Amino acid sequence: MTVKPVKKAVFPVAGLGTRFLPATKAMPKEMLTVVDKPLIQYAVEEALEAGIEQIIFVTGRGKSALEDHFDVSYELEATMKARGKSMHLIEGIRQKPGSPVYVRQQEPLGLGHAVWCAREIVGDEPFAVLLPDELMVGGFMRQMVEAYNQVGGNVIGALEVPDSETDKYGIISPGQRDGRLTEVLALVEKPKGKAPSNLMIPGRYILQPEVMKILDAQEPGAGGEIQLTDAMAKLIGTQPFHGFTFDGARHDCGDKAGWVQANIALALAREDIGSAVRDYVRALIG
């Protein structure tokens, strides 16, 4: 079996971020920082570390801060150079994604619709999708690409959640398990009533381009949105389809508590500020 390598990644960043208001009224949710880096930069770095070469952002109105973040900041760089300041914190950002491509989603009609907006750039190739409001520590996409290179087809993240939370996520109906890979028999978005398992789909996907053809005709599903899960479900049986269990940590930064937890976890792990934060947290909780 020849497996076509994954070279392109789509980052849907056109959502409204309503769970994070008022912070996201004038600022994209994906620009929220965890310690000192915006969420979108963590996600882009994760993709580049996995060997992705083409970065595709699906943006919308009010998201220009994202484009500026990956562009040259002439005044900042000239001033820092003139003052003899080290450029290492900003230098890598604009070089790393090469030339990112920006496409617009004119209305936030759902994740499936956002991914579909990138169809012309994706073309006839497998592609990754990374949702930047989920911060993964430990190289999730790299691990997924390694697994994909073995089995091909579609490989999506699979993560166990408590039974009481399954109605919040896309859920996998699992078949045979082989190490970290689980065969996917069916998918259901935000199941009402009994869920087929407690394996949810975190925001990481490697998909075949055929999903775009399904999205061409996909009707709105749960929440009135065009759901990626519903389109992916139609690929099952026509192509290999696996869930991949990640060996690392996931922080749901689209949620306020998850974002605060991510800040604490990543700050504690930092060499420069970890011990000061640890002392403070210890004193705070007594």
We find the least distance from the C-beta atom of residue 89 to ligand UTP, in angstroms, to be 24
User: Which residues, at least 6 apart from 128, have a Cβ–Cβ distance to it below 8 Å?
Assistant: 6, 8, 9, 10, 47, 50, 52, 141, 144, 145, 204, 205, 206, 207
Angle between helix 256-268 and helix 274-285 axes, rounded to 10 deg: 120
We find the least distance from the C-beta atom of residue 17 to ligand UTP, in angstroms, to be 4
Residues 192-251 that bind ligand UTP (CB under 6 A): none
Closer residue to ligand UTP (CB): 14 or 188: 14
- Binding letters toward ligand UTP, positions 98-137, x by CB under 6 A: -------x--xxxx-xx----------------xxx----
Closer residue to ligand UTP (CB): 155 or 253: 253
Nearest partner of 176 among 243, 248, 246, judged by Cα? 243
For ligand UTP, the binding residue among 9, 10, 14, 188 (CB under 6 A) is: 14
For ligand UTP, the binding residue among 58, 118, 129, 228 (CB under 6 A) is: 58
Nearest partner of 98 among 54, 140, 68, 67, judged by Cα? 54
Closer residue to ligand UTP (CB): 18 or 275: 18
Closer residue to ligand UTP (CB): 181 or 200: 200
Residues 18-37 that bind ligand UTP (CB under 6 A): 18-20, 29-30
Is residue 17 close enough to count as binding ligand UTP by CB under 6 A? yes
For ligand UTP, the binding residue among 13, 147, 187, 207 (CB under 6 A) is: 13
Q: Characterise 101 by phi-psi region: left (phi > 0), alpha (psi -120 to 50), beta (else).
A: beta
3-state secondary structure of 180: coil
3-state secondary structure of 76: helix
For ligand UTP, the binding residue among 254, 259, 263, 267 (CB under 6 A) is: 254
Closer residue to ligand UTP (CB): 46 or 174: 46
Helices (H) and strands (E) in the chain, counts: 11, 14
| Parallel, antiparallel or unpaired: strands 134-137 and 101-104 | unpaired
> 82-94 burial, b for 16+ CB within 10 Å, e for fewer?
eeeeeeeeeeebe
Number of residues that bind ligand UTP (CB under 6 A): 23
Closer residue to ligand UTP (CB): 11 or 240: 11
